[in-house]
């Protein structure tokens, strides 16, 4: 009988220990879904393309930045005017993603305004 009690106690300790260190969701590990990521990126690129066609997205780099579209800069969500800012010589107001693209030579703005050092 003593051996059975020891086994039961050990099993209870194992169960408690497992539950204490198990991630929330009781064993369901969230795995990175590459297909879901591709779908999100594809949807974002399509949405930006639609904004470009509508004339609301005037980005200076190719491929167009995502930062402005997501509303993480000074423009309204879904809009970009970095190209306009470059044309006006306001390089300090261009979003960081476009600045990085300009430094890498990805700028598609008209004229030589992109070649100005930031």
- pLDDT tens track of the chain, all 118 residues? 677 676 766 666 777 666 666 555 555 556 778 889 999 999 999 999 999 999 999 998 888 999 898 888 888 778 899 999 988 988 889 999 999 988 888 887 755 556 555 4
What pLDDT is attached to residue 34? 87
Where does the chain show beta strands of DSSP type E? none
pTM of the model: 0.62
Query: For residues 64, 87, 71 and 47, what is the CA-based torsion angle, rounded to 10 degrees?
Result: -40
User: What does the alpha-carbon distance between residue 106 and residue 52 come to, in Å, rounded to a whole number?
Assistant: 17
- Residue 17: per-residue pLDDT: 62
pLDDT value, residue 115: 57
């Amino acid at each position: 009988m003593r051996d059975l009690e020891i086994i039961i106690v050990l099993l209870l300790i194992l169960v408690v220990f497992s539950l204490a260190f198990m991630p929330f969701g009781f064993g369901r590990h969230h795995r990175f879904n590459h297909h879901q990521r591709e779908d999100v990126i594809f949807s974002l690129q399509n949405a930006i393309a639609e904004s470009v066609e509508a004339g609301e997205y005037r980005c200076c780099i190719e491929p167009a930045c995502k930062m402005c579209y997501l509303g993480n800069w000074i423009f309204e969500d879904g809009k970009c005017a970095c190209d306009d800012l470059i044309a006006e010589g306001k390089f300090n107001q261009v979003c960081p993603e476009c600045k990085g693209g300009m430094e890498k030579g990805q700028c598609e703005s008209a004229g030589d305004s992109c070649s100005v050092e930031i």
